[in-house]
Amino acid sequence: MSLTLALETSSGRFAVAVGRDDAVLYNSLADCEKGPERDLAWAVRRALDQAGAAPTDLSRLVVDIGPGGLGSVRGGVTFANALAFALSLPIAAFNYFEIVAHEAGPLDRPLLVALPAAGGDGYAGLIRAGQVVGMRFGPLGEIMRQAAGEAPALAVAGRLRGRLGEFLPDVERTDTGIEAPDPASLLALVRLHPDRVGAPGQPVEPLNETSPVFHGGVFHD
């Protein structure tokens, strides 16, 4: 049995899915039994049990590397790296903005994805035609205005989507309803992008406020 295990880390509540080919065998978001909120090991055991599988049945992992809850992203990525090392499995890594872009699908306007960080800061990602064209970390008002630019209308997603009117009062906003990534989207992304799968046991890095990608860049067309 060749299976993929997907780990969503950025929402702070961990979500897990198991897939085979294009079938989703298990998704913790649809599971009525909720275990310890931050116990990823329990969630993975539950996922494999419900899929009728063992860890040795896994052929690869796919993980959400953030950004998001600092502790949950670091803990989730560390768990994924340890599991991959122990089982000699390859990992594919996708960031929060890529996952949300996939879930949102085709849109007739740019998509602004925003989520909070500590101390009045936050993360913003701008997506055009399904592609992430910019990511920034910093003071919320500043990065939201940078992301919006001169756009008269935006689609919005992420945990801050309901507050964007505070920062962008003159921009027409369409709410996608997407607050956090679905681990099943990770299963779809790794099928679409097999080139993102690394070598067995090769670790991946979390995205957080210190990651170079968030500093010094600009949102662009």
Question: How confident is the model over 120-138, as pLDDT tens digits?
Answer: 899 999 999 999 999 999 9
Residues 61/3, Cβ–Cβ less than 8 Å: no
Predicted confidence at residue 195, as pLDDT, reads 96
Q: In this structure, how many other beta carbons lie within 10 angstroms of the beta carbon of residue 134?
A: 21
| Residue 218 placed within a domain | no
- Residues 105-134, mean pLDDT to the nearest whole number: 93
Q: Is the pTM of this model over 0.85?
A: yes
Instruction: Look at the alpha carbons of 54, 16, 71, 209 in this order and tell me if their dihedral is positive or negative.
Output: positive
Q: Counting beta carbons within 10 angstroms of the beta carbon of residue 71, is it exposed (0 to 12), middle (13 to 18) or buried (19 or more)?
A: exposed
Q: In this structure, how many other beta carbons lie within 10 angstroms of the beta carbon of residue 155?
A: 20
What average pLDDT does the structure give for the chain? 92
Domain range enclosing 54: 3-96+180-210
Summarised one tens digit per residue, pLDDT across range 75-99 is 999 999 999 999 999 999 999 999 9
> Which CATH number characterizes residue 119's domain?
3.30.420.40
d(CA 66, CA 38): 16
| Residue 221 placed within a domain | no
Residue 101 has pLDDT above 80, yes or no: yes
Task: Assess whether 86 and 36 both reside in one domain.
Answer: yes
Longest CA–CA separation in the chain, Å: 54
Residues 220/133, Cβ–Cβ less than 8 Å: yes
